[in-house]
Chain A
Amino acid sequence: MRFWELCTRNLKETYRDPLALGFLLGFPLVFMLLFGAIFSGDNVAHYPIGVIDDDNTPRSQAFINEALAKVPMFEVSTYDDTTTALKDLKFGDLKAYIVIPSGFGQQVSQNWQGEEADIFLQMTYDESDVMVSEQLISIINAVTRSFARIEIPITINANPIHIETEITEIDFIAPGIIIFGLLIMIPTSARIMVSDKERGFLSRLLTTPTRPLDFISGYSLCLAFIAIAQIIIFIAAAWVFGMDIVGSLGLAFLIFLLVGLSSIGIGMVVASLSKSENQAEPLCWIFAMPLAMLSGCWFSIEMLPSYLRNVAYAFPFAHAIDASRAILIRGVGLEAVSNNFLFLVGWAVVIFAIGIILFRRSMRS
């Protein structure tokens, strides 16, 4: 059980180092606190939204009254035509207006019955107000998807309260911040491994009967424990700030753990390619910060140009944000996020395998 001895040593080295511990938990926690303070409580921003219902079906009405109107930060007013709505938008009385085209109700019904049908909404907004418009698009997107994908057939009218609509900003932002916290595992993992390499600890232990696999298991296990502790703390903090947990917490936890393992894998690759902490740290940040931004940790990536979105979806983090939001906010099950889930499993397995191969190689002289 040499790997276990190494794992406990690595854990002690981490939790007894106030700087490392503070960075590991404090950095994302500060983000969480900041976003929590901004978006929880009564100081929620209020966005006046106009709606023009060209469909005028019970479903489109339900969408306006049960979905859009229940978003706390929306003040929804209905309009008969786009001309008046556009005038109000130009005067600043509206932040945006949405046109529900005819056929919307039928498309929603098809989705409810399990047939996939594209939903079309037309939204007009002031593009000069970048932050607001971006948030609006994200929230309307989330609300519509949640409305359309609900798996209750036509009986929806009898029980419209089941529609999940109380999406607050903290619900939307918390999964992203948790993923950001787990992205920080990239520099942390690399630092722990490279500092042992740089200070000769690895060489010293290589003069004992310790096998390379003992090292890799010792580090991975320790880092996995750290990731688990992080996930628990972040979920608890998000819950304190008012994040609703609609779906399976266990499934969300699993998604987060896969993200943690992918970060550890990337950290291992960086550690194998670096000779010193001075090399590893910047390398990790160059990697982690753009990834956090691209993956939508802090804001929605709906606005990104498609080529950048493609880059984001080549990494596991954007998938994990989508999947964890769907689970936590909309309460979907594994089957609904199976593509994201399989991508995460695949990524974790492949990056870990590459990490192990490279790290083993870097230990040989």
Chain B
Amino acid sequence: MTSYSAKRAKASDDFAIQTFNLTRTFNSLVAVDGIDLNIKKGELFALLGPNGAGKTTTINMLCCLLKPTSGTAQVMGYDILKQPFKIKEIIGVSPQETVISEHLNPQENLNLIGKIHGINARELKIRSRQLLETMGLSDRAKEQVRKFSGGMKRRLNIVMALIHNPKVLFLDEPTLGLDPQARRAIWDYIIQLKRGKTILLTTHYMDEVDFLADRIGIMDEGKIVALGTSTELKASMLEKHTLIIHAQNLTQRLIEEMRSRYAEVEVTNGTMEISDKKLDFEEIVNLLHAFGAIVRSASIKEPTLEDVFLHITGKELRE
């Protein structure tokens, strides 16, 4: 087994974030259990997992908010234990809860974070104007944010993490609780951000991960249980294929015949799902016709990240 110091020696310039056996416990609960992650510069990496999987604890340690119980991590080459303030200068964090000053307007909220990061007034003005416009908040830049809708506050929550142009961006559940339209708007914006910045995003929405992430780490009970691109993770499921058939007149005799030929056959309300390592599409259709079934549609079921998660952990990702 590679020693801890040897692992740390592998720290590379190619990576924006590296964790080394990063562990955090709260009393007897192991929230993050010795994870080793390498996130490349410019990559959008998503941590996918159910509530309580350890995603936010991981982010909190990387943002130097929480000290690890053991192990460590580096962000842009700076150690979270030894150089926390170096890291805080170059990161932007959009927390899971919407955290803004309610009695300040968006401009004032941005000024606060910008000035804390030492940005001069001129640059601050230009950047905040750009960001508020992109996020569709410029019309109400002078209005106290307590009057804003949840979606608008959420967008401001993200913009506040960007005002100082950070090299590494942490987005903790950026679209939590938003309606589909607002979620889509934030996704589009994150896509724009992908150029040039390293982004670590946590979510429990699979469609979000599918749409945004370059690479995915599936997290469960404090561990990274699977790692790869969306395609790679789904491909790991392709050892089994599923065909879904919508048809009329699915007789008992036909179902028994199918079950004798294929590993799994399930029938509910005129829908037959046939799964096996190998499926012969033509043979199935011919059989259906031969037994008098009237086929309305037939399609191959693509595996989802939900299937991947279920397959790996034996649990369902609750949305």
Contacts and interface: CB of A to CB of B under 8 A. Distances in A.
Interface of A: 1-2, 5-6, 9, 12-13, 16-17, 199-201, 203-211, 365
A16 B144 contact: yes
A334 to B, nearest CB: 40
B149 to A, nearest CB: 18
Interface stretch (B14-22, B87-95, B181-189, B263-271): B87-95
9 contacts: A5-B115, A13-B101, A13-B102, A200-B99, A201-B99, A204-B95, A208-B116, A209-B89, A210-B116
B104 A12 contact: yes
Nearest to B61: A365
Contact of A208 (B108, B117, B144): B117
A209 B116 contact: yes
B266 to A, nearest CB: 46
Closest 4 pairs (CB-CB, A-B):
A16-B103, A207-B93, A200-B99, A204-B99
B180 to A, nearest CB: 26
B116 A205 contact: yes
By size class, the interface of chain B is: 20 to 34
A365 B116 contact: no
Given A207-B64, A365-B65, A199 B99 contact: yes
Contacts, number: 65
Nearest to A2: B116
B284 interface: no
Nearest to A17: B103
A201 B95 CA distance: 10
B191 interface: no
A365 B66 contact: yes
B63 interface: yes
A157 B170 CA distance: 82
Interface string B98-119: 0101111000100111011110
B113 to A, nearest CB: 7
A206 B99 CA distance: 12
A5 B118 CA distance: 11
A207 B67 contact: no
B116 A5 contact: yes
Nearest to B160: A204
Nearest to B89: A209
A8 to B, nearest CB: 8
Nearest to B86: A209
Contacts of A211: 85
Nearest to A14: B103
Given A16-B103, A203-B95, A204-B99, A9 B112 contact: yes
A119 B25 CA distance: 69
Contacts of A9: 101, 104, 108, 112
Nearest to B24: A365
B302 interface: no
A13 B160 CA distance: 17
A195 to B, nearest CB: 10
Contact of A13 (B103, B111, B117): B103
A17 B104 CA distance: 10
A311 B101 CA distance: 40
B103 to A, nearest CB: 4
A5 B109 CA distance: 11
A9 B160 CA distance: 15
A289 to B, nearest CB: 28
B257 interface: no
A40 B67 CA distance: 61
Nearest to A365: B66
B97 interface: yes
A259 to B, nearest CB: 27
B63 to A, nearest CB: 4
A324 to B, nearest CB: 33
Contacts of A207: 63-65, 88, 91, 93, 170
A206 B84 CA distance: 10
B103 A12 contact: yes
Nearest to A208: B116
Contacts of B63: 207
A209 B97 contact: no
B257 to A, nearest CB: 60
Nearest to A200: B99
A66 to B, nearest CB: 56
Contacts of A209: 85, 88-89, 116-118
Given A206-B65, A207-B63, A209-B88, A201 B101 contact: yes
A195 B176 CA distance: 22
